[in-house]
Amino acid sequence: MDLKKRGYMDRILYINLTDGSCKLSPLDEKAAYLLLGGKGLGLWILYKMARAGISPLSPENPLIFATGPLTGTIAPTSSKLCIVTKSPATGTLLDSYCGGFFASELKFAGYDCIVINGRADEPSMIVIENGSVDIKPAKHLWGLTTAETEIAVKRMVGEDFKVACIGPAGERLSPIAGIFSNLRCAGRGGAGSVMGSKNLKAIAVKGDGSVHVYDEEKFKKMAWISYRSLRMSEATARSLPMYGTANILLTINEMGALPTRNFQTGRFAEAEYISGESFRDTLWIKDHSCSLNCPIKCSKFASLSNELYKGIEVDGPDYETIFALGSNCGVSDKQAICYANYICDMYGVDTISTGCIIAFVMELYERGEITKQDLDDIEAKWGDADALIKLTDKIARGEGIGGFLQLGVKKIAEKYPGSRSYTMEVKGLEMPGYEPRAAQGMGLCYAISERGACHLRAYTAGTELCGHMGGIDPLSHDRLKVLHAIDRQDEKAVVDSAVLCFFTLFGLKLKEIYQMIVACTGFNYENEMRLKEIGERIITLARLFNVREGFKRKDDTLPERSLKEPLPEGPARGMIVHLEPMLKEYYRIRGWDKNGVPTQEKIRSLRLVEIL
């Protein structure tokens, strides 16, 4: 089998920063067939390379930049970069995604993956130009913001290089630090601190190769069909291009699922001021795509006019940033939300975790658990835009109280044991922007997500809250809801391994993705259900990794507020998350035992024994 004619470059680049060595390895054919690429391939490499119990900040923890078979092709939205490692924030598997041009350029340079181990003696950068790989000193880049770093690196190596880098937060090993490229961010779970722990500031890549597919004519046809479907979808052709991911904010609020004041409720009285419609009318000046082959253009640029922030332009904000820095903190000042977003981007931290940390601190302050003096003289009151900016700046810089707050809500709660009932995290990762009491499927998804609380590992909110695919009762918590969550989880694992953007699922069905993958790879998958099987295989392998790290049923849970405190208002008033019966059924359907451990029978049936 010639993988170079099947959407792959058939080369994995291994770089050891400790001794400066590089080596190439061909792609394992069976792993490619069973796992596709991206998340699946990166997870497989991590599972094979990382010993059990390894510290995420150890030089031996691999940092993996992975592409998929569709990366670098004409397939719509196929420009995402997948980053896989062990998370410093949670100790779990971490896979995080970033738009832009880096992933395609990596394929053009001739590589399916970069696997980085070791630790450089001094701040360094990696420069890859086709078959040439250099490790260069980068002490002069240390301390620069993400935007400054990208500009400086391009001045050094050439404007046509694509760059991935960290900001100061990654340098100081903040567990909420991300990896940035072209203003896009692989934000959640602390991949930026893994990169910083290796004394690696940036990677620059340039290639002049191309990606070859198995059946070029059929692939062109299938890609065209996919573009047409995206152009015909209300979400991907009109709503997302017009209002970005904030297109759903008013709907989510109306459904009582917009997290407000640290998830105390799901209704924000001032939601209209932070909606996509409001941003469109006042601040957004430009629509843009992550890459040239994305027809959706959900990304936005905001231009700030407030005297304090005048002249600043921000990439965003998106829905998750607006919820985290906005409603969850009780803040409705759009310009303040944008400026906090800007601070996070420049210093290189995750906006979701930052906003949720601030919301938690605000509740501690309102309850009298933490004082103004504790917070470097900041009055952390609900809705205070000035407090939002000051706390964001402290956290992003890691200065003063920010050095402690950047550790995340789970660590903060250890100092305030009375706060555990409203510490909104799962496995150490702060909760994203959907109130789970108002969408029971999302509650299950948060609990079972392998990287901690995540809305993108099984996005049932689309059907539960927005009516996607005809809709589904958000308050049900029966077997059908569990099956629905499993379908969404398997489907997303396929998309993350292909690698495509999540939003393709709002315009494409799995059948259309299947048709592109088969034309690209020539793999003999009989139908789209074989892709679902790949998704299940990847989810099970992820579970095996986490089990090896000590995670079991006790960790598949939700905050006490979600499980015991009835929602006070909205259509889901009086609801809690009915997690236990859903979790029990989830394990049963998955073929895992009562502790959430995949059975040997399930491992064999998914053919994982062939590659482990």
Give the closest residue to 266 by CA, choosing from 247, 251, 246: 251
Instruction: For residues 190-206, give the mean pLDDT.
Output: 98
Q: Do both 471 and 343 map to the same domain?
A: no
Are residues 451 and 556 located together in one domain of the fold?
A: yes
The mean pLDDT value for 84-108 works out to 97
Tokens of 404: 């402690």
The letter for the amino acid at 332 is S
- Tens digit of each residue's pLDDT (9 = 90 or more) over 424-439: 999 999 999 999 999 9
* Predicted pLDDT of residue 353: 98
Q: Say which DSSP state 28 is in.
A: P
Residue 449 and residue 87 in contact, taking contact as beta carbons nearer than 8 Å = no
Any idea what the Cα angle at residue 334 is, between residues 332 and 337, rounded to 5°? 90
**Which three-class secondary structure string do you get for 347-385?**
HCECHHHHHHHHHHHHHHHHCCCCCCCCCCCCCCCCCCH
Domain that holds residue 574: 436-610
Number of domains composing the chain: 3
Contact present, 66 and 42 (Cβ < 8 Å): yes
Tokens for 550, please give them. Answer: 């000590």
CATH of the domain at 366: 1.10.569.10
**Strand 124-129 versus strand 132-137 pairing type:** antiparallel
Predicted local distance difference test score (pLDDT) of residue 310: 81
The answer to whether residues 62 and 117 touch, using CB atoms and an 8 Å cutoff, is: yes
d(Cα 397, Cα 330) in Å, to the nearest integer? 23
Q: Structure tokens of 376?
A: 């470097």
Give the rounded distance of the alpha carbon of 407 from its chain centre: 18
Distance CA 337, CA 96 (A): 23
- Residue 591: how many CB atoms within 10 A of its CB? 15
**Which is nearest to 184 in space by CA: 293, 326, 300?**
300
Lowest-confidence segment of 46-55, 304-313, 359-368, 419-428 by average pLDDT: 304-313
pLDDT higher than threshold 90 for residue 598: yes
Among 140, 79, 151, 106, residue whose Cα is nearest residue 13: 106
* pLDDT for 596 beyond 90: yes
213 within a domain of the structure (yes/no): no
Bridge partners, residue 94, by sequence: 85
pLDDT tens-place string over residues 225-250: 999 999 998 888 889 999 999 999 99
Determine the pLDDT at residue 468: 87
Residues 181 and 327 both lie in one domain = no
Q: Which of 401, 423, 445 is the last residue of a domain?
A: 423
The domain boundary residue, chosen from 423, 450, 465: 423
Is 95 part of any domain? yes
Predicted confidence at residue 32, as pLDDT, reads 97
- Judge whether 328 and 261 are in contact, CB under 8 Å: yes
Alpha carbons within 13 angstroms on the beta-carbon side of residue 256 total: 19
- Exposed (0-12), middle (13-18) or buried (19+): which is 565, by Cβ within 10 Å? middle
Q: What percentage of residues in the chain have a pLDDT greater than 70?
A: 100
Same-domain status, 41 and 175: yes
User: Among residues 423, 452, 481, which one ends one of the domains?
Assistant: 423
Same-domain pairing of 358 and 450: no
Whether the pLDDT of residue 183 is over 90: the answer is no
Helix residue ranges per DSSP H, 381-509: 385-397, 402-405, 409-415, 440-448, 461-464, 479-498
Per-residue tokens: 58: 């150890």
Report the mean per-residue pLDDT for the chain.
96
Task: Report which of residues 112 and 238 the model is more confident about.
Answer: 112
Q: What residues have CB less than 8 Å from 307, skipping those under 6 apart?
A: none
- Strand 12-16 and strand 21-25: the pairing is antiparallel
pLDDT (0 to 100) of residue 460: 96
Phi, psi of 375 (to 5 degrees): -105, 30
Cβ atoms of residues 609 and 593 within 8 Å: no
Q: Mark whether 442 and 416 lie in a shared domain.
A: no
Looking at the structure, tell me whether residues 197 and 301 fall in a common domain.
Answer: no
Which pLDDT belongs to residue 155? 97
Mean pLDDT (whole number) for 528-544? 97
At residue 469 the predicted structure's pLDDT band, cuts being 50, 70 and 90, is: confident
In a domain, 349, yes or no: yes
Phi/psi at 132 (5° precision): -95, 130
Q: Is the dihedral of CA 282, 288, 289, 290 positive or negative?
A: negative
Q: Are 472 and 484 in contact (CB under 8 A)?
A: yes
The sheet with strand 284-288 has its strands ordered as 284-288, 299-303, 313-315
Are 497 and 357 within one domain? no
Statement to judge: residues 28 and 154 lie in one domain: yes
Q: Give the span between the Cα atoms of 71 and 80, in whole angstroms.
A: 7
* Measured distance CA(474)–CA(522) in Å, rounded: 39
Please check whether residues 390 and 527 belong to one and the same domain: no
What local confidence, expressed as pLDDT, does residue 205 receive? 98
Q: Which residues of 217-226 are buried (b: 16+ CB within 10 A; e: fewer)?
A: ebbeebbeeb
Stretch 517-536: mean pLDDT? 96
Query: Is 238 domain-assigned?
Result: no
Q: Report if residue 229 sits inside a domain.
A: no
β pairing state of 93-98 and 113-117: unpaired
CA-nearest of 561, 255, 565, 253 to 438 is 255
Same domain? 29 vs 161: yes
Burial tier of 199 (Cβ tally within 10 Å: 0-12, 13-18, 19+): buried
Q: Is residue 382 part of a domain?
A: yes
* CB neighbourhood size of 569 (10 A): 13
Tens digits of residue pLDDT in 312-345: 999 999 999 999 999 999 999 999 999 999 999 9
Same-domain check for residues 170 and 260:
no
pLDDT tens for 126-150 read 999 999 999 999 999 999 999 999 9
The CATH number of whichever domain residue 565 belongs to comes to 1.10.599.10
pLDDT at 104 over 90: yes
Residue 140 lies in a domain: yes
**CATH number (domain holding residue 195):** 3.60.9.10
Cis peptide upstream of residue 495 (ω within 30 degrees of 0): no
Q: How many CB atoms lie within 10 A of CB 597?
A: 17
Sequence-separated (6 or more) residues with CB below 8 Å from residue 228: none
Please provide the size of the chain in residues.
Answer: 612
Name the residue among 226, 313, 170, 193 with its Cα closest to residue 511: 226
Mention every residue, 6+ apart, whose C-beta is less than 8 A from residue 7.
68, 69, 70, 73, 211, 212, 213, 214, 520, 521
Specify the range with the lowest mean pLDDT, choosing from 155-169, 289-303, 359-373. Answer: 289-303
In a domain, 25, yes or no: yes
**Mean pLDDT along residues 342-356:** 98
